[in-house]
Structures are given as C-alpha cells and as structure tokens.
Amino acid sequence: MKNGALPPRLTEEGRFFENLSFLFQPPASDGPGTRTGGTTMRILSGIQPSGALHLGNYFGAIRQFVELQNTPGEHLYFIANLHALTTVRKGDDLRRYTMEVALNFLALGLDPKKCILFRQSDVPYHAELNWILGVLTPMALLERGHSYKDKLARGFSADFGLFAYPVLMAADILLYRADQVPVGKDQKQHLEIARDIATKFNLAYVEGYDAQDPEGKESRKHRPGLLKLPEPLTLDASAVVPGTDGQKMSKSYGNTIDLFGTDKELKKQIMSGIVTDSTPVEAPKDPDKSNLFMLLKLFLTPSETEELRQSFLKGGTGYGAYKKQLLEAFHAAFDPARQKRAELEKDMGAVEAILQEGAQRAEAIARPVIEEVRAAVGITGR
C-alpha cells in the first residue's frame, strides 16, 4: 500500500457495521444515487461521540460514508450525542467528544459540500419521535434486546437510557423514512425492533392499516403506514473488526486502536496491546485464529493478504515483526488525515458553522414526517 493512501475498498467479506452506527439507503436503483424510477437516493447514518474514534469505526462506517458521498443523492451523517448520554455522564466530555467526531469526520474526508453533517441533538425531532414511539413500545420487546442483556452482563447499570436505546435508534431510522438498512450480524435485531415499533404506531394511528400489507398495495381498503417499515440489507459475510484482545473492537471493551491518538499511545496499543499466543518465532502460525492477522489484512490488497497468510503458515517471522508492519501500515494510511485534523482544529468556529448549517438542512428534510406524526397522534391539528 502506498504512503498516504487509505486502505483498499472493502469487499463484502470485509465490510461490517458496528452497533454504534447505521446506514440507510433505498432498495433497487437505476444507478448510483437514484431509486428505480429516477428519484433521488437518501443515505443517512450516525455514530456515537462516546470517546476516541478507532479502526473499527473507520472500517465499519466512516470509510463507507466517504465513499457514498461521492454518489448522487442526499447524504446525511449525524453525530449521535443523544445516544452517547447512556455512557458519557460529564457535559464537558460530551461536548469535547462531539466536536472531536466532527473534526475526525472532516479530516477523514467528509465534505460538507457533498453531504450534510450535523449533531443529533440539533434536530429536536429525533427526541420528540423517540417519546412518541416510546409510549407504544412494550417493555417485553426491549427486554429481549441482545445488546441490553450483554451490557448488563458486563456490569453496566440497568438504567432507562440503556434499556430504551433501541427506541431512539428506531426514531432515527423512521424519522427519515428509510427504505433499506444495511446491517451487520450484531445490528439486525435493532432493525427488527424498529420494524415492530413502526408497525405498532401504524396500527394505532393509521385507519385501514394492515400489518400484512404495510404499503397498502394489496387492497384498496388498506392504507399505507405513516411510518415506513425498513428492510434489512444483510451482508451474510459481514465481519467484526477485532480489538487488541480478539473481541470485537469497542470502546466499551477497552481494546481499541485509536485513529487520532498520539504516536506514543498508538505504538503502545499496537506493540504492547495486541494479544498473541506463545507460538515460537520459527513455528507456523494459524492466520484464521490471529486477531493480528485480521487487523493487518484491513490495510492490504487481496494479493498482499495472501502473501501475509503464507508467511504466517510458513513460520520464521515473530509476532513482533507483524506488529511493526501493522504500525507502519497505520501511519502510511492515516498520517495525512491526522495532519489535516491538526489544521482543522485551529478554527473550531468553522467546524461549528458546518454543524449548524447541516442541522438546518437535516431539519428541513425531517420536518414533513414529524408534522404528519404530530397530526396523527393529536398533538397538533390537521
């Protein structure tokens, strides 16, 4: 890989979406940026500002954001600071994390001329729809949440925010009438919950709605739902980027490789943080059981990946050498973005202006949906 070049575009085998981000797009199209029939595609996704961005965030979401903004259509990317309240309990920290995400997005290639970048909390309709949907959501539905149960098992407190997290995620999706949601294997249940909630809303507030005919196409007696049921676009081979300990890379697990940490921090995370087994230098090593191999392949072309695989199988190279290779690959890929971020940080007023303009544009898109919802539930007149 050449210096200054970001890692090669991921194939389906290397594409994934972490549970702190989601991406929406319409189904079959006439070409990039258009739905069948020629209408414009809308893509929206969000990411939590709950700490430093890491490799999992980049390969799982941000890389796709940058690629997709270069296709025709509307591209909305938001910083999910309302979601982050479940884990960040200091106001100054959340403000700092939020602006850091904005800086990082811009440094990594998001262009406000090509996309809409905004803070979730700057569009109040997310919170409003969250409450409206929440009053219809059964507790039993949320109690089945895999993410909720997993975090309880890991010692997180069982508070309302953690419990009702999927309702806000549903509001984020349904507010923009997403047609299709590409999801990784750890994300599919959140989409199923969003569909369940949308169905409950439509049954309660749309006269003539039939859950078996949600778009009202099968009978003239059926009316389409006010809230569209999104369909999953599941990537069967979707992967999870491993952390330094072999689990999924996550801030919650403390196993990340941060994109914008200091050189010293980065070296420590890679050289000391990545867990390996005790296989001797000269012995063959199983690449399929090595989180170090999986991290390295993110930066390699298919042919380079195969060369690395053969090197593991042959033996004669220690894990320390592979860690140095990963450190060098990281710097070659991300040092230009790290330098750009330092320049952007000199004018935070300009970054704030981008977020404010983005919020105004996003609000204009979401307003018709929330106005229809308000009228349906009776909190405004028709």
Catalytic residue annotation: 151, 248, 251
320 burial (CB, 10 Å; 0-12 / 13-18 / 19+) is: exposed
Nearest-angstrom CA–CA distance, 137 and 259: 37
Residue 316 burial (CB count, 10 A): 11
Buried-exposed string 195-234: b where 16+ CB fall within 10 A, e elsewhere? bbbbbbbbeebbeebbeebbebeeeeebbbbbbbbbeeee
Mapped onto helix, strand or coil, the DSSP state of residue 27 is: coil
Contacts of 252 (CB under 8 A, 6+ apart): 87, 151, 154
**8 Å CB contact between 48 and 94:** no
Residue 299 burial (CB count, 10 A): 23
Q: What is the DSSP letter of 232?
A: E
Is the sign of the CA dihedral 130, 133, 134, 139 positive or negative? negative
